């Protein structure tokens, strides 16, 4: 399961093996001796080699998925947007950072849309106070 998920995540971001290795080395640096290579990642995708726990953790962080999803222990990597909007994670849209006010406005738009559909079988999730998302 891991090789297929890794390949799908990589191709979903339209990265070559070498590009993924370079991106991992830049975003999550390690010592020179343990830097990733395209051939190493190719071996993982073909199931020839198995990455270490640390490498799986780095890949999960890079692709923003859980280790359980990456290794096949869970079937989805679903995110609750409401929880994401009130989290302390930095959010971007098309490369532009969203401010606390932006996040609140977008949250309100999505919430209004979902409520407007008349979906009665839902968990409304966390509540936000009017005006902003305090991320500190």
Instruction: Classify 130 as helix, strand or coil.
Output: coil
State whether the Cα torsion 82-83-84-88 is positive or negative: positive
Structurally, the chain folds into a number of domains equal to 2
pLDDT value, residue 20: 96
Co-location of 65 and 94 in the same domain: no
What is the value of pTM for the model shown?
0.56
pLDDT value, residue 94: 87
118 burial (CB, 10 Å; 0-12 / 13-18 / 19+) is exposed
Q: Which domain holds residue 116?
A: 80-136
pLDDT value, residue 24: 94
pLDDT value, residue 79: 67
Q: Where are the alpha helices (DSSP H) in the chain?
A: 2-12, 17-27, 38-46, 53-63, 67-71, 81-86, 100-116
List the chain pLDDT tens, one digit each, 136 residues: 899 999 999 999 999 999 999 999 999 888 788 899 999 999 999 999 999 999 999 999 999 888 988 998 877 656 677 877 777 778 888 889 999 888 889 888 988 888 888 755 555 555 555 555 555 4
The Cα–Cα gap between 124 and 9 comes to 30
pLDDT value, residue 93: 87
pLDDT value, residue 126: 58
Of 37, 52, 71, the last residue of a domain is 71
pLDDT value, residue 23: 94
Co-location of 84 and 132 in the same domain: yes
Q: Which residues contact 39 (CB under 8 A, 6 or more apart)?
A: 17
Co-location of 58 and 103 in the same domain: no
Co-location of 37 and 13 in the same domain: yes
Co-location of 98 and 55 in the same domain: no
Co-location of 65 and 90 in the same domain: no
């Amino acid at each position: 399961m891991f090789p297929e998920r890794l390949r799908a995540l990589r191709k979903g971001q339209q990265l070559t093996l070498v590009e993924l290795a370079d991106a991992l080395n830049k975003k999550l640096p390690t010592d020179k001796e343990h830097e990733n290579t395209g051939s190493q990642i190719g071996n993982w995708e073909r199931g020839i080699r198995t990455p270490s726990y640390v490498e799986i953790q780095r890949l999960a962080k890079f692709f923003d998925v859980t280790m359980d999803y990456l290794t096949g222990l869970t079937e989805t990597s679903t995110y609750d947007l409401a929880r994401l909007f009130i989290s302390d994670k930095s959010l971007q849209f098309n490369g532009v950072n969203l401010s606390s006010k932006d996040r609140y406005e977008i949250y309100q738009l999505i919430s209004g849309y979902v409520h407007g559909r008349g979906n009665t079988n839902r968990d409304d999730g966390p509540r936000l106070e009017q005006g902003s998302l305090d991320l500190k």
